[in-house]
Structure 1
Amino acid sequence: MVVSGVKTEHADRAAEPDAARSVGGGLFADPAPSNAVREDPELARQRAIQGDKASRLQFFKQRVILTRAFQSALDTACFLVDQAEYVDEPGGLMVLGEGGCGKSFLGEQLIARYPRHETLYRLEVPVALVDLYSGPDEKDVMIAILEQHGERVSRNDVTANTLEDKLVASFARVGGRCLVLDEAQRLATFTASKRKSDRLMGPVGERIKRIYSRARIAIILLGTPALRDLIDSDAQYRTRWSAAVTLQPFERDSVFLGVLNGLSRALPLAGPSLLSSEEVGYAIWDACEGYFRRLKNLLTNALAIALDEGATSIQVRHLRVAFVRTGNSDMANPFDRLKG
């Protein structure tokens, strides 16, 4: 699919690690700003090893697993942000996936690559990120964006139309180029049984559509697969968000073991953590069921336990305790069947 000259893949599953590339040619990328010179991944890891517990945990949390689908979504999102400076209609993108597949992490990566910063002349906020709560109100959404732009507004003192005018002016004032809406499926205001001719995204969706047209910014929607039905409910939505990338859980196969091998090499520990053996690797899959968020939480907790112990690698005993802290209490601990 082509959006503003960029081909965007529809990924049906997490791709093989050797199909994903990052700065330095590996599975992982650092979250440095888009205009920064990125450090060699191994040098960055060695530097992190010298830090304290908090900095080492933060280093690992920020590692990005660049599967083909995630890379496609990140590349397209960055392209949209970059071209928004130069074109009137920079376009939009949908990133779809069940909870825990990496959508929110993608939004965080955009914020890290295009950070809010002060210049000599103004505050610059290239990317604004709003997490939509259940039943979002159009005023609250616009106020949340304005607050990221450094403005304080009372919802009771202004109309929605006045807020829209302020927001359009604010995007220009802070050099805003992109708006990211997380949990965008919550824009739904009707049940799925409504006719396709109904505009399912409701007043917030209509407001966002107008802001896109007036502010001339890229808008990226992150949501569950139900988001596609909302976009399909209106031809104008479909033209604005015609590109979609689907993030899915890892499958229980050699691809997942390859990801674990890469994660082992990214750990800020002096010794080798052999996470990618079939015995340990498939126990890790059983613990997280292939979900990106649960995988990162499990390994981050195991890393914290290893650091507290003064260990130089993650061992099965660390994973066993980490699962108790982060796992499903109704599920048997998959690491109990392993030695160590």
Structure 2
Amino acid sequence: MTHFDHLKPEIAETLTWTTEDRIYFAQQNHWISYPRAKEIMTRLEDQLAHPRVQRMPNTLLVGESGNGKSTLIDRFREKHPVKILPSGEPLAPVIVMEMPSEPNEGRFWTELLLSLKIAHRDTDPVQRKENQAISVLTYVQARMLIIDEIHNVLHGSARQQRHFLGMLKRLSNKLQLPLVAVGTRDSILALHTDTQLSSRFEPLALPRWQLDVSFLRLLASFERLLPLAEPSQLSSQDIAIKLHSMSGGTIGGVATVLKRATVKAIRDGKEHIDAKLLDNIGWVKLSDYGKEALKL
């Protein structure tokens, strides 16, 4: 398939599919590696392999909404799936959960038990849910707990925040379990409610993308995954500038714009993305939503 050298071989094969199947494929998420993501993945691997000590190293992964934090965490979890040992016991090295909408201890243990797929009752006492969660984490030999949306800690009173962060510190100490907190820049404020806990978290940032060589390489990587028969030259100057503006400099924004543009290109029989097509996908940046709403 030398005619489709702009695509990965497995992507080129999708060009023979029906229009509906190609559109379905175009709307799926695909992992794209890039230098900063590799650095963070390596850091998480080192943390996962860290020997159990009294004061475990923790990580705070910070980034703008839509800039790939959750995708990166999902990728890391996929690399360390649940396994069944020959003895029949489960082994779950990486546990990922979502922080409840407020720093409520009972709801935290509920969310953790749901992530562990453990049956329980919401009305159970907090201590009972905590004992159950800790017992399961020990049983499955968990080596890391990742808590997404950690900035939700700020949605409680100062007293609630201190109590909740104290609970996280006790959990980490008790199980000698490294924590990875994931969230927006507000997460830094959230963890600084407890100075002892915040000192244990090493910050890792996923900054917005600048319009530079790294961004052009990212676009080139995306192009190899788009099921379109013709090259789109996404890294060319005019298209790169437009995509950077439309996406707001986030990798999630780029992915969403390109998904919509790819679908339109397939439906229109155009088979490539250009500046004119991008102008006609009906895209409104998040920062412009308020302005558009005023026009309604």
- Short-chain TM bin: 0.7 to 0.9
Instruction: Write the distance in 1 (CA, Å) between the matches of 2:16 and 2:180.
Output: 37
1:283 to 214, 218, 242: 242
2:223 to 259, 264, 281: 264
Does residue 205 of structure 1 match 2:170? no
Instruction: Write the distance in 2 (CA, Å) between the matches of 1:48 and 1:87.
Output: 47
One-letter amino acid of the counterpart of residue 27, structure 2: L
How much has 1:227 moved relative to structure 2? 1.9
Instruction: Write the distance in 2 (CA, Å) between the matches of 1:326 and 1:128.
Output: 34
How much has 1:111 moved relative to structure 2? 2.3
Match of 1:66 in 2: 34
Match of 2:122 in 1: 155
Q: TM-score, normalised by structure 1?
A: 0.71
1:247 to 201, 206, 219: 206
Does residue 166 of structure 1 match 2:126? no
Does residue 229 of structure 1 match 2:197? no
Instruction: Write the distance in 2 (CA, Å) between the matches of 1:281 and 1:113.
Output: 32
How much has 1:44 moved relative to structure 2? 4.4
Please give the secondary structure, in 2, of the residue aligned with 1:222: strand
1:134 to 101, 106, 109: 101
Does residue 312 of structure 1 match 2:271? yes
Gaps of 5+ in 2: 1-6
Q: TM-score, normalised by structure 2?
A: 0.81
Instruction: Write the distance in 1 (CA, Å) between the matches of 2:160 and 2:99.
Output: 16
Match of 2:65 in 1: 99
Instruction: Write the distance in 1 (CA, Å) between the matches of 2:139 and 2:218.
Output: 42
Match of 1:57 in 2: 27
Does residue 176 of structure 1 match 2:142? yes
Match of 2:283 in 1: 324
Please give the secondary structure, in 2, of the residue aligned with 1:129: strand
Q: Which string of whole-angstrom CA distances, capped at 9 and with x for unpartnered residues, describes residues 257-300 of structure 1?
A: 33222322332333212111111111111111212221111112
Instruction: Write the distance in 2 (CA, Å) between the matches of 1:134 and 1:210.
Output: 21
How much has 1:323 moved relative to structure 2? 4.2
The verdict on how the C-alpha distance between 1:143 and 1:275 changes in structure 2, with shifts beyond 3 A counting, is same
Gaps of 5+ in 1: 1-40, 192-197, 333-340
The structure richer in helix per residue is: 2
How much has 1:94 moved relative to structure 2? 0.6
The verdict on how the C-alpha distance between 1:48 and 1:128 changes in structure 2, with shifts beyond 3 A counting, is farther
CA RMSD of aligned residues (A): 2.9
The verdict on how the C-alpha distance between 1:231 and 1:311 changes in structure 2, with shifts beyond 3 A counting, is same
The verdict on how the C-alpha distance between 1:189 and 1:55 changes in structure 2, with shifts beyond 3 A counting, is closer
How much has 1:56 moved relative to structure 2? 4.5
Contact 1:92 1:220 in 2 (8 A): yes
Please give the secondary structure, in 1, of the residue aligned with 2:278: helix
Structure number with higher relative contact order (C-alpha < 8 Å, ≥ 6 residues apart): 2
Please give the secondary structure, in 2, of the residue aligned with 1:115: coil
Contact 1:164 1:211 in 2 (8 A): no
Match of 1:219 in 2: 179
Q: Which string of whole-angstrom CA distances, capped at 9 and with x for unpartnered residues, describes residues 141-167 of structure 1?
A: 21222122221111212x222222211
Contact 2:91 2:141 in 1 (8 A): yes
Match of 2:4 in 1: none
How much has 1:254 moved relative to structure 2? 4.2
Match of 1:3 in 2: none
Query: Identity percentage over the alignment?
Result: 19
Give the number of aligned pairs.
279
Instruction: Write the distance in 1 (CA, Å) between the matches of 2:103 and 2:10.
Output: 40
How much has 1:331 moved relative to structure 2? 6.8
Does residue 122 of structure 1 match 2:89? yes
The verdict on how the C-alpha distance between 1:128 and 1:44 changes in structure 2, with shifts beyond 3 A counting, is farther
Does residue 110 of structure 1 match 2:76? yes
How much has 1:179 moved relative to structure 2? 1.4
Please give the secondary structure, in 2, of the residue aligned with 1:324: coil
Instruction: Write the distance in 1 (CA, Å) between the matches of 2:161 and 2:9.
Output: 47
